[in-house]
């Protein structure tokens, strides 16, 4: 029994000697950034406000497109230049990401600057950037792991899980193309808008809404004359477009079911004269 105990002790010591040394504790990390506000007058004597804000965020694990255990340290820098009493503002948002624990002096995984006023994180998966700088509100949805664009939307983006058993988030919105859109197809006078349906990894489906009557299409597409409400759930997407006061609302409602994680365009419900069809950029 004594010899066995000695043998076990020797074996245990040998195994202990083979173990790699414990990793050195991570160096303490402290990052400081400053937010500023300055007020001045321009050459015309107008009051000008410049604001710079910096915020930090930590992602959870499982960011789409990254290793499952990877966490990100995220920095959002906003710059806003506004002339008081003038409509609109000049603003940008810079999004940066590093592996958690990195020194921000190191090169980030990405650094992207786009026009906008703010950015928020949804579901540890996407950036939602507020882009409206003047009278029209709109948003861009980007991948959190890379800032690759998923879609633009002129209604607040919605997100929901298409599965009750496993969290399977989907994101949806409605693009209402501006007059200066680069896509010539969206300048076609029958176009009303584009439904957008995406996962955190990819754009699943776009659907083009058109109207037979070009005058009606222009009214439904108008930012000034129409208001839009948009909802989404695992059963489908619903877009309602109403005319602004003093016109009668004359609300138009478009409903598109979701079947097998895709827009079921064949069973969409639309008023007479409106149509919806698959669209690909």
Supply the pLDDT for residue 251: 97
Q: What b/e readout covers 138-162, taking b as 16+ CB neighbours within 10 angstroms?
A: bbbbbbbbbbeebbbbbbebbbbeb
Q: Please compute Rg for the chain using Cα positions.
A: 26
Supply the pLDDT for residue 255: 98
> In degrees rounded to 5, what are phi and psi of residue 20?
-65, 150
**Ramachandran quadrant class, 201 (left: phi over 0; alpha: psi -120 to 50; beta: rest):** alpha
Classify burial at 17, counting beta carbons within 10 Å of its beta carbon; exposed 0-12, middle 13-18, buried 19 or more: exposed
Supply the pLDDT for residue 34: 77
Q: What is the DSSP letter of 200?
A: S
User: Tokens standing for 47?
Assistant: 């009051």
Half-sphere exposure of 165 (CA within 13 A, CB side): 0
Supply the pLDDT for residue 45: 82
Residue-wise pLDDT tens digits, 44-73:
788 899 999 999 999 999 999 999 999 999
Rounded-to-10 torsion of CA 7, 13, 15, 17: -150
Q: Which residues share a beta bridge with 198?
A: 171, 203
Supply the pLDDT for residue 28: 64
Supply the pLDDT for residue 158: 97
Supply the pLDDT for residue 146: 96
Which runs of consecutive H residues, i.e. helices, occur in the chain?
Answer: 2-18, 214-221
Residues in the chain where the model's pLDDT stays below 70: 1-29
User: Tokens standing for 118?
Assistant: 């703010």
Name the residue ranges covered by the structural domains of the chain.
31-133, 148-281
Say what the pTM is: 0.85
């Amino acid at each position: 029994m004594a010899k066995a105990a000695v043998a076990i002790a020797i074996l245990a010591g040998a195994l202990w000697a083979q173990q790699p040394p414990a990793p050195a504790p991570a160096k303490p990390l402290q990052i400081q950034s400053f937010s500023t506000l300055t007020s001045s007058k321009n050459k015309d004597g107008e009051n000008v406000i410049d604001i710079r804000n910096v915020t930090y965020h930590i992602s959870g694990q499982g960011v789409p497109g990254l290793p499952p255990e990877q966490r990100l340290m995220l920095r959002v820098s906003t710059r806003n230049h506004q002339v008081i009493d003038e409509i609109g503002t000049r603003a940008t948002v810079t999004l940066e990401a590093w592996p958690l624990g990195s020194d921000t002096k190191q090169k980030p995984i990405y650094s992207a600057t786009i026009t906008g006023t703010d950015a928020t994180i949804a579901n540890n998966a996407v950036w939602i950037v507020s882009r409206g700088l003047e009278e029209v509100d709109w948003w861009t949805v980007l991948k959190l792991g890379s800032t690759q664009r998923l879609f633009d939307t002129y209604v607040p983006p919605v997100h929901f899980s298409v599965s009750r058993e496993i969290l399977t988030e989907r994101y949806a919105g409605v693009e209402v193309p501006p007059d200066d859109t680069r896509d010539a197809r969206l300048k076609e006078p029958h176009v009303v808008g584009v439904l957008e349906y995406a996962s955190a990894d990819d754009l699943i489906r776009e659907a083009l809404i058109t109207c037979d009557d070009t005058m009606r299409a222009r009214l439904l597409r108008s930012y000034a004359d129409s208001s839009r409400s948009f909802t989404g759930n695992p059963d489908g997407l619903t877009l309602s477009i109403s005319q602004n006061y003093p016109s009668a609302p004359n609300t138009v409602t478009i409903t598109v079911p979701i079947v097998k994680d895709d827009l079921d365009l064949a069973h969409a419900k639309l008023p007479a004269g409106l149509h919806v069809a698959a669209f690909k950029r």
